Amino acid sequence: MNSIVKILSWRDWGIVRYNSIFQNLSALYFIAYVGLHWNLTFIVNALLFIFFSILMTGYGYLINDFADIDLDKHHQKPNSFANTKKSLAIWILLGVLICGAIFSLPFIKNIWFVIIWGIWIFVATTYSLPPLRFKEKGTLGLITTVLGQQVFPVALLFAAFTTPWSWGVFILILFTFSRGVSSDLGHQIRDWINDSQTDTCTFAVKIGYKNANSIYMTCLEFERIILGLVIFVFWYYFP
């Protein structure tokens, strides 16, 4: 029981706080307004999707902890599975996936939802686990984590509610990508010392601390520009 509570409260309830759906509720509002979905069915499905997203976000972070138990111990970083048997950790990961599948039932009739979800699971798993372990693949690792943590969850949201493709949808997805790049690159910069000492080949380690900071500042400026486009989207669609 203590293991479950520790996992749910991972990094000060980061499973909830870092969930991209809560960071991008504007996309859910966009779907409701453009599709005129202001009804009880939409509200219930929106809540189901939020729970689904929390579980899938949790899976991504937890499998990263599972793969990094020894590395986090060396870095003296907290890890959800630090004192958990490997067999129990695997069952917990499977349980999170099964619960996520239950909450996804209203949406699996959409083939694009199923495809994107399958890719999301693949990316979240291979990002941390060997032999692929994309997190140590430099640029590819950065792109992979941005897609897994930011882009795919929002793309799944649009797929779940069969939102027609439009330039507004494109801008909202582009914003999640730009925000994800600056967010994860900032995280890599903060971990640069530990990662460089253990030869963890993240994007920031590969290009060097100074270059990573320069790119990070550029990403923040680009994110600000895309945010301006997001504001324009809402002005255009919601006069």
Could you read off the pLDDT of 102-158 as tens digits, one per residue?
999 999 999 999 999 999 999 999 988 888 888 888 888 889 989 988 899 899 999
The pLDDT score that the predictor gives to residue 125 is 92
Q: Which residues contact 78 (CB under 8 A, 6 or more apart)?
A: 11, 72
The pLDDT of residue 8 = 54
The predicted-structure confidence for 2-61, as pLDDT tens digits, reads as follows: 555 555 555 555 555 555 666 667 888 888 887 766 788 888 998 999 889 888 888 888
> Which pLDDT score is estimated for 37?
67
**Among 3.30.70, 1.10.287, 1.10.600, 1.10.3470, what is the CATH number of 2-237?**
1.10.600
pLDDT for the residue 196: 86
Look at phi and psi of residue 11 and say left if phi exceeds 0, alpha if psi is from -120 to 50, else beta. Answer: left
Distance separating alpha carbons of residues 200 and 133, to the nearest angstrom:
11
Q: Are 100 and 21 in contact (CB under 8 A)?
A: no
14: Cβ–Cβ under 8 A, 6 or more apart, which residues? 61
Q: Is pLDDT at 91 greater than 80 in this prediction?
A: yes
Segments making up each domain of the chain, as ranges = 2-237
Tokens at 98, concatenated = 């099964």
Answer whether residue 82 shows pLDDT above 60: yes
What is the chain's alpha carbon radius of gyration, rounded to the nearest angstrom? 18
The arithmetic mean of pLDDT across residues 69-78, rounded, is: 79
**pTM for this one?**
0.84
